[in-house]
Amino acid sequence: MTLTDEARAVAGSLEPEPALARTDLLAEPVVVALRALPEDVAATCLVAAIDPDLADTAAFCEAYGSPLDASANCVVVAGSRSGERRYAGCVVLATTRADVNGAVRRRLDVRKASFAPMDETVALTGMAYGGITPFGLPAGWPLLVDPAVLAAPAVIVGSGIRGSKLLVPGEVLGAVPGAEGLDGLGR
């Protein structure tokens, strides 16, 4: 697969391959989610192996020459209402922060929202902390995506494990079940 100039710039020194040809580089929920996408959409999702010690965004970008403004972080946010725990995946560019107690709190309709604890996030998603990705989050969770991510020609996101990264067109994140653009998410 030939990368566009934009995708090549985002990839830095990575050598991405079709994600579904390298399922060994993906967490199981991610494999299931990518296989559920339309074939032409899944074909645009690429994966590349990385050093797991460099999975955190800043370290990854520095080591692999990928621009920080082309990395998108996926975080899990939780809140409660009437004893019901509500979750959402939130995707923002690494140069911004998710507006957890503004936009996300209002969308989840909870009194207070916060980042879900690491052990809870790992248990619920089946993904490694530091590799959380929009692909394969539990069914029924909204996936809130900042419009800047959706508009990006290509972004780097987690793969469900710390040892790889996905390279995808931003618009593909809008095709993930439960995805919705949320104005004001990234601040």
pLDDT in tens, 42-88: 999 999 999 999 999 999 999 999 999 999 999 999 999 998 999 99
Question: Does 180 reside within a domain?
Answer: no
Helix (H, G, I), strand (E, B) or coil at 41: helix
Question: Does 178 reside within a domain?
Answer: no
| Number of compact structural domains in the chain | 1
Q: Say whether pLDDT at 169 is over 70.
A: yes
Higher-confidence position of 6 and 35 = 35
Q: Give the pLDDT of residue 126.
A: 97
Question: Does 107 reside within a domain?
Answer: yes
CATH code of the domain covering residue 80: 3.90.960.10
Domain that holds residue 31: 5-170
* Residue 38 DSSP code: -
Average pLDDT over residues 14-25: 97
Question: Does 19 reside within a domain?
Answer: yes
pLDDT band of residue 1 (cuts 50, 70, 90) is low
**In a 10 Å sphere around its CB, with 0-12 CB exposed, 13-18 middle and 19+ buried, how is residue 132 labelled?**
buried
Q: Give the pLDDT of residue 50.
A: 98
Question: Does 185 reside within a domain?
Answer: no
Specify the pTM: 0.94
Question: Does 52 reside within a domain?
Answer: yes
Strand partners for 88: 77
Handedness of CA 54, 28, 69, 13 (dihedral sign): positive
d(CA 56, CA 50): 11
Residues 6 or more apart from 40 whose CB is under 8 A from it?
none
Q: Say whether pLDDT at 2 is over 70.
A: no
pLDDT in tens, 86-123: 999 999 999 999 999 999 999 999 999 999 999 999 99
- Transcribe 83-112 into DSSP letters: TEEEEEEEEEETTS-B-IIIIIHHHHT-S-
pLDDT in tens, 129-153: 999 999 999 999 999 999 999 999 9
Q: Give the pLDDT of residue 120.
A: 96
Question: Does 115 reside within a domain?
Answer: yes
Question: Does 184 reside within a domain?
Answer: no
